[in-house]
Amino acid sequence: AKSKTRWSVGLPMLPCSRRATMTKEDGQRSQAAVPIILSLDELRVDLAPDIRRHLASQYESLVSRSPFSSAVSEGDDDDSVRESSSRPSSSAAERHLDRILDAMKRPPSATCCRVNIINSSVEEVRVRLDDALGPWRERRNAARRLRLLRAAAADDDSDGGRKRRRPEGSAGDEHDAEKEGEGRTGDEGEADDDVDDMIARPSGALPDVLLVGRSGARASTAGALRGPPPIASPNSSSGESSSPRAVFPNWEKRSERGWPSTHRALIVDRLCGEAVLRGSDVFVRGVLAADAGIAEGEDLAVYAHLDGGGEDEGDGGGGKKSAGSAKAFPRGLLLERYGGRCVFLGTGAARCGRADMFRLPRGLAVDMSSSSSAGAAAAVGPDLPPLNGVLESEMMLQNLPSAMVAHVLGPRSGEAILDMCSAPGGKACHVASLMRNEGLVVACDRSRGKVVLAREKFKTVGATCVVPLALNSTRCVVRDGSPWRSPKEIIESASATKKDGLLDVKAFHPESFDRILLDPPCSALGLRPKLRVDIKTLRDLSKHAEYQRRFASEAVALLKPGGTMTWSTCTIDASENEEMVGHVLREFPSMELAPIPFDLGRAGLPERGLSDAERCMVRRFDPCDDGDTMGFFVAKFVKKARS
């Protein structure tokens, strides 16, 4: 009974039957699995060999052309390329793919905020956003000053008391702490860590987009760390510092397993980890495993689970897989029993105790902007504030290439516009914003649940011209010969379902819409940050392009002659981008490409189904490009008017 009690402590989410049968031997077997702990720099986003060959081959013609090939050669001096060139791959195309994958695991250096001009002007949002950043700046700078104070105190004690110390918290002490930080860089100090220059500024490329980030931001040096750096602890009797100050001073196996002895730690799921890299805090639903004894207010080391399991690589008795996890383990697992692969994200301050992290249905678990540990890495990603939920009715977080799509579509007041794969609804909101709610925007998605959530977003931003519909966009054209009716007539005559109040509309008549925004389901091989790729085979990857063709044929049928259609994806895969554009041009002679009037991205890849003139009319974004964006693709079609 004693051994069972020992191993069940701190596992509030495990089923009672599982806890009751857990023995000391079970725990010892689980402890035998040693976790693999990586720094972000060490993490490699792996691809299946056939997928890797497929993606590398699409860049062969690109890297062989001047001046891009010389740019790749010059890039060989970068650490990321030196690392990739030491791998088995040797061709320039494969090295370029490695650069993309290395950039993919890191977020862009700024957060893109698209202004909802239905409710506010860009300048009004810029001012309010700067005001909203004020408390974050204060917390961030206060934590920085405290870290410097503690580091200075440790330095004083390591000198055997030779420095005269003021009482902690005095103005002079704070001044000395600032002086201690001067001249330090990277992990030694934080001379460049002040965030007073964290501002919202116009993007310069799109008129309704603001970028939030530090001016002249540079990459975090914490990307090389597998955990918080050691914190010196003063030894007043000897005048020397003992290293490190330990929360777990006598737990040798902890350091052998790679966990920090200076901090308690927790592990979040992969999707939560990717959000943290973009500036988010940790919320309770994202926490998977944690040390025992975590108390509110203490600094924690935070890691993201990548793959591998905890207990027996199974479902942990809970029968459910964890979000962002290839293999499941029980949520609520003690850290000492974790045996998966994870990556270090930084440190933050606990905002609740361990029990509440696994008991509460929602709430903040870790504030990533408030770490005060001397020498600790506050963030592995760029120093960005959490903006989710900030000014919700006035702006929306949206990646820069994605925010370009509605501008490329060019909606006009009074038009009927179809967003064929709308969820979660960001682009439909943008179209409504550009139209100033004057017209009709039909926002479709196959998932009723996603459409219901999108409907709430439309209400929040005041997009009253948007009509959300749950329908299958691969079969949404009326072909039964019934009398033609406009989208407005179909919607006005439709009845709401009792289940969720969505209108019961399943199809529209041919040539009904002035403009169509088509952003079909894709392989998402362009999202940043992306810590792991889940697509296992080339066959799985190719299914995306096959599925997308079904959306394209319906879109062409629904578009009016003279109308405009955009095609966009968040992937670098040419079979879903340039080759799909070529497919539309070949299969539907009524469709032709139109130039995109924005100086963003670059031309499409050569020798992927488009002529040089055609590929110059599409826009491709690769994660390693100078624009520092996600991977994305946009094309603009116009349907020829009848002669």
Sole residue written with tokens 């209108």:
503
Is 196 one of the annotated binding-site residues? Answer: no
C-alpha closest to that of 38 among 390, 531, 448: 531
C-alpha closest to that of 190 among 378, 337, 55: 378
Residue 60, Cβ neighbours under 10 Å: how many?
16
166-192 core/surface letters (b: 16 or more CB in 10 A; e: else): eeeeeeebbebbbebbeeeeeeebbee
Q: Could you tell me the residue ranges of all domains in the chain?
A: 2-32+250-367, 49-104, 111-219, 399-639
φ, ψ for residue 376 (rounded to 5)? -75, 155
Architecture field, domain 399-639: 3-Layer(aba) Sandwich (3.40)
Is 519 one of the annotated binding-site residues? Answer: yes
Collapsed DSSP state (helix, strand, coil) of residue 575: helix
The DSSP symbol for 400 reads H
**Beta-bridge partners for 343:** 38, 304
Cα distance between residue 297 and residue 351, in whole Å: 6
Is 2 one of the annotated binding-site residues? Answer: no
Answer whether 0.95 is exceeded by the pTM: no
Is 422 one of the annotated binding-site residues? Answer: yes
> Catalytic annotation on 522?
no
What pLDDT is recorded for position 514?
Answer: 98
What pLDDT is recorded for position 619?
Answer: 98
Diameter over CA atoms, the chain? 95
Structure tokens at 306: 């990548």
Is 536 one of the annotated binding-site residues? Answer: no
Is 426 one of the annotated binding-site residues? Answer: yes
Structure tokens at 360: 């509460």
* Mean pLDDT, contiguous 10-residue spans, the chain (643 residues): 34 35 42 83 96 95 60 43 41 93 95 96 95 86 72 60 43 41 40 61 94 70 82 44 59 84 94 95 96 94 86 36 51 92 94 97 92 63 89 96 98 97 97 97 97 97 97 96 96 95 97 98 97 96 97 98 98 98 97 96 96 97 94 98 80
2-32+250-367: in CATH 2.30.130.10: yes
Is 480 one of the annotated binding-site residues? Answer: yes
Cα distance between residue 190 and residue 183, in whole Å: 9
Catalytic residue among 429, 476, 570, 624: 570
What pLDDT is recorded for position 191?
Answer: 40
Is 160 one of the annotated binding-site residues? Answer: no
Residue 410, Cβ neighbours under 10 Å: how many?
15
